[in-house]
Amino acid sequence: YIDESFIFGGGRLYREALPQVKRIYLTRVHMDVPDGDTTFPNLDMTQWQETDRTEKREADPPHTYYVLERQSA
């Protein structure tokens, strides 16, 4: 029995796994970066609840960690 697994992209893997995911650990970097070839899918936030947030504004680069839990149907 596996309690928790982690997925580190690419984009296709994110899209395929997302319907099965109950929790997301998301890091948002607060800086302009060039467009890359891998992106995380847009989330329908009506399906997710933010349960934790840690801001690291003084870090290099500044970023915020989020924990999102899928809403029960």
- Is 40 within 8 Å of 14 (Cβ atoms)? yes
The amino acid sitting at 66 is Y
pLDDT by residue for the chain (73 residues), tens only, comes to 778 889 888 889 999 999 999 999 999 999 888 877 777 889 999 999 999 999 999 999 999 999 999 998 6
pLDDT score at 68: 97
Dihedral Cα 47, 25, 51, 54, nearest 10 deg: -140
Q: Which ranges of the chain does DSSP label H, i.e. alpha helix?
A: 11-17
